[in-house]
Amino acid sequence: PVLTSLSHLSLASVVDVKNPALVSLGASASSKTLRRLDLSGCNAFDDIGLEAVVENAALLEELNLHGCSGISD
């Protein structure tokens, strides 16, 4: 099944969230409807993964990156 109307996604403290997962999320239909994304405590991704989601999530209103040490300022 394909999620086409995902608006909130929490992956907080999921240690295996890596760039390929975020690139896939960014390329999916779900990114078009995503309004809130919580990646707090996830340290296995960097700017590449984050950009892949943010560039495609035009409706994104809230992004929690608290404790994400793999990304730059």
- At residue 5, does pLDDT exceed 90? no
Lowest mean pLDDT, pick from 6-10, 43-47, 69-73:
69-73
Residue 5: how many CA atoms within 13 Å on its side-chain side? 0
Give pLDDT tens digits for 12-50.
999 999 999 999 999 998 899 999 999 999 999 999 999
Instruction: Give the global pTM.
Output: 0.91
Q: Is residue 10 within a helix (H) or strand (E), and if so which, with residue range?
A: strand 8-10
Query: How many alpha carbons fall within 13 Å on the CB side of residue 8?
Result: 2
User: What pLDDT, on the 0 to 100 scale, is given for residue 3?
Assistant: 67
* String of DSSP letters for 15-28: TT--HHHHHHHHHS
End-to-end CA distance of the chain: 36
